[in-house]
Structure 1
């Protein structure tokens, strides 16, 4: 599409060409516009090597003791999740609202783009897992999307990291940008009237914020902020100051609840998730690629698993290897320590990309690795 068309749409230049979730001519894009998750704090600290020998409870008490100690933990969390994205960590920790500590994540100009929270006794899950919380604003999400190695790849890597440390999404906002206004707000109003947003026979509450044709832009809310999902349809280009812009945004807020978790797959296929929640938005079919896990995400998964095994059980495995004189003996002993279950990330793709596993399998099959 010509640059002139983008200019007419009112799309900020910082957003152009960023999303890999888009149609062929770039006039319809889907982005992740807010992200928050809770993670197993100790699982992260083990993966970065911070809990190699220290007792987890001692580290927790130490990090809660003062802001200086808290910053050490915050740096490890920041490095694991956000390194290489052009973000920076604030220089001091402050009090959080639910957690003991909150440290802001900033862009290079010092503007707020996210937070890291942890600490205290009130942040344990029902199973006893001691958690931390990470959050990115819309600007922070845009920085992930703008990363030099690609939008989808970065979100897939983040998904793999969350999966490796028992991460649970708490809120994700996705937004579909119709740059040419082919699906205007009036059409969304018609869909609502026709029951296209009904859920199990129930019509969600709706609210229209009308600009009375002043050019400032109208907004339609479907659902409430307290519900598990809320759709906001608004004239984004006009909101940005271009009164002639046709640009319309369909923005959905998804929140986890005690009744329902948010799937990590929303980070892999935000368009598909948005379409699944609101089937009437079938114009997203041209964007919902139903992407498979890419090699980059698979690599992130097996590297994380191997690193965890080496750091946590490397010495024990070394002892076993030294005292098992044959491969059969080693296999027999290792088998007594395994579980009948497989981890959530276990797929054929991971096995094929794990170099030691793939190499052994190829050798057994008579193929030179």
Structure 2
């Protein structure tokens, strides 16, 4: 085992898993990342951010999208650029029919391999509150590309989280995987935990199933929970599945789904390790997973940029009108306060104010005056 650890330390993660996560232990032998993602978003909130066909009614735009595949791709491209620009991915030229939506456009990588999709159009896309939605999806390969781009997991996924929050995004499915690269927590250990009741929930034991390779070297898979339930854990011999019959690499992968009873929190994109451990406390070995960058700072930066962009695009002209017609700073403050809500947004913390440049500059000036 020591030899395995040394090889991993020198060469990094296996090529099929490199860049999946910024969440890993000191030796790089235990990592946590996101391996599947899908969400619905308020389509017109996104288009408003981009000022797309500004002035047209939502119904006119919706009918225009439904009219042709070409129109649908134009809107899908707008959404692709908003959420996934800079990843090195592309939007396919071909538009097909969707499963729940009228249109589906594939997201592909440079090798033209399918890594995700955008779905939109049709009456089925309307939420109970009347909002028209579009659907985003990234496969495991799409998530790897997302995590590997630029600054790694935290920067890219936190930017996505902030954008989802700005357009009423709801996660519909996310898979969180923990990779034990040296086999310290083998599949048979997960079976033992199940037999001991460690996966029981409120006294109820979930269903379990073993897909046995009968020691052929192809790899075993152990399932805990139903495939269509709110959560299901899959434990499988990932390295052997990839073709190495002697690999010790084991993956613990939880599939989380939203339901009418429970929505998935956007923060699962910020810290997947915490949510995986929270769902399955028996996976206590995840406590040793550490972040390699300052997550809070990255989260704050991604959030305030999205909030300021949304404020400027949606209400910039109104704010300009208010500024022009207020005679002094006190009057401006009074008018602005008359338009505010007593509640603060979920992302608002002391750190947010410190990282918002204009607010920080004003605070610094006031501190100087006070001093």
For Structure 1 versus Structure 2, the TM-score category normalised by the shorter chain is over 0.9
Aligned to 2:36: 34
C-alpha contact 2:26 2:290 (8 A) present in aligned 1: no
- Note if 1:94 corresponds to 2:109: no
Counterpart-to-counterpart distance in 2, 1:247 and 1:234: 9
CA drift at 1:3: 8.2
Aligned to 2:364: 362
Using the TM superposition, name which of 50-59 and 171-180 deviates more.
Answer: 50-59
Aligned to 2:342: 340
Q: Which runs of 5+ in 1 are unaligned?
A: none
- Note if 1:112 corresponds to 2:114: yes
Using the TM superposition, name which of 44-53 and 26-35 deviates more.
Answer: 44-53
Aligned to 2:133: 131
Counterpart-to-counterpart distance in 1, 2:242 and 2:9: 12
Work out which of the residue numbers 232, 252, 260 in structure 2 matches 1:258: 260
- Note if 1:204 corresponds to 2:206: yes
Aligned to 1:122: 124
Aligned to 1:295: 297
Q: CA 1:89–1:352 in 2, change beyond 3 Å: closer, same or farther?
A: same
Q: CA 1:2–1:247 in 2, change beyond 3 Å: closer, same or farther?
A: closer
C-alpha contact 1:209 1:220 (8 A) present in aligned 2: yes
CA drift at 1:290: 11
Counterpart-to-counterpart distance in 1, 2:352 and 2:66: 37
C-alpha contact 1:43 1:165 (8 A) present in aligned 2: yes
Work out which of the residue numbers 158, 174, 177 in structure 2 matches 1:175: 177
CA drift at 1:252: 0.8
RMSD of aligned Cα (Å): 2.3
Counterpart-to-counterpart distance in 1, 2:205 and 2:212: 21
- Note if 1:331 corresponds to 2:354: no
The 3-state SS of whatever aligns with 2:347 is coil
Aligned to 2:319: 317
CA drift at 1:164: 1.3
CA drift at 1:159: 1.1
Work out which of the residue numbers 128, 141, 144 in structure 2 matches 1:142: 144
Stretches (4+) displaced over 6 A? 1-4, 7-11
CA drift at 1:296: 3.4
Q: CA 1:38–1:171 in 2, change beyond 3 Å: closer, same or farther?
A: same
CA drift at 1:102: 0.8
- Please give the residue correspondences for 1:208-287 in structure 2 after superposition, counting only pairs within 5 Å: 208-287=210-289
Q: CA 1:10–1:303 in 2, change beyond 3 Å: closer, same or farther?
A: closer
Counterpart-to-counterpart distance in 1, 2:117 and 2:210: 32
Q: Which runs of 5+ in 2 are unaligned?
A: none
Using the TM superposition, name which of 154-163 and 101-110 deviates more.
Answer: 154-163
CA drift at 1:25: 0.2
CA drift at 1:77: 0.4
- Relative to the length of structure 1, the TM-score reads 0.94
Using the TM superposition, name which of 142-151 and 302-311 deviates more.
Answer: 302-311
Aligned to 2:26: 24
C-alpha contact 1:302 1:354 (8 A) present in aligned 2: yes
C-alpha contact 2:224 2:232 (8 A) present in aligned 1: yes
Q: CA 1:53–1:364 in 2, change beyond 3 Å: closer, same or farther?
A: farther
CA drift at 1:249: 0.9
Aligned residue pairs, count: 368
The 3-state SS of whatever aligns with 1:13 is coil
